[in-house]
């Protein structure tokens, strides 16, 4: 059997599920199996991206998508898994989702669209590298000063 794709779904109890689509290349029989998230039971034959993760990746600018794809696949391999999920894209190396202060989120919305995705990635990576679980306005100012020399100047 050859894995064609994986969909992330919520099961009847609300627990995350994966719907794995496979095909027999010999007889062209196609099957779909719903399994609990992360439990592939040998149904995934190579490194795969869920449909949701691919959709999110496709919406990023190409220069960002290349970096994100490489990091996500490396993170999945380090966890000894074969599936890149939507959450893997949202979770840096620390394995936890980085939250944003509301004011930091508002400021990010004012960043020009062509660089907004890159700014989000860099801010979340910096927070993760420091072991922080949250992007703050002060972190934004620090990163802005580092890359653009435009941070808040203290007198």
Instruction: Indicate if the pLDDT at residue 133 is higher than 80.
Output: yes
Distances (CA, A) of 148 to 48, 119, 152: 37, 12, 11
pLDDT of 14 above 80: no
Domains of the chain from N-terminus onward: 97-149 (1.10.8.550)
Neighbours of 89 (CB within 10 A): 22
pLDDT digits (tens, 9 = 90+) for 77-120: 888 888 988 877 766 555 567 889 999 999 999 988 777 877 88
Residues 26-60: tens digit of each pLDDT = 999 999 999 998 888 888 888 999 998 898 888 87
Q: Which residue has the higher pLDDT, 17 or 14?
A: 17
Task: Report whether pLDDT(11) > 90.
Answer: no
If one compares 155 and 117, the residue with the highest pLDDT of the two is 117
Q: Where is mean pLDDT largest: 22-36, 71-85, 122-136?
A: 22-36
Q: Global pTM?
A: 0.60
Residue 23 to residue 35: CA distance in whole angstroms: 17
Instruction: Please state whether beta strands 99-100 and 134-135 pair in parallel, antiparallel, or not at all (unpaired).
Output: parallel
With beta carbons less than 8 A apart as the criterion, state whether 6 and 35 touch: no
Q: How confident is the model at residue 135 (pLDDT cuts 50, 70, 90)?
A: very high
């Amino acid at each position: 059997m050859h894995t064609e794709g994986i969909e992330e779904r919520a099961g009847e109890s609300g627990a995350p599920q994966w719907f794995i689509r496979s095909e027999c290349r010999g007889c062209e029989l196609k099957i779909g199996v719903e399994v609990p998230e992360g439990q592939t039971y040998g149904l995934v034959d190579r490194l795969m991206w869920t449909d949701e993760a691919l959709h999110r990746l496709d919406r990023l600018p190409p220069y960002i998508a290349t970096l994100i794809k490489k990091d996500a696949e490396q993170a999945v391999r380090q966890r000894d898994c074969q599936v890149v999920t939507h959450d893997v894209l949202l979770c840096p190396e620390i394995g936890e989702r980085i939250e944003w202060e509301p004011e930091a989120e508002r400021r990010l919305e004012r960043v020009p669209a062509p660089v907004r995705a890159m700014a989000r990635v860099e801010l979340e990576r910096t927070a993760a590298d420091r072991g922080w679980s949250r992007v703050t306005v002060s972190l934004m100012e620090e990163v802005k000063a580092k890359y653009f020399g435009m941070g808040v100047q203290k007198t």
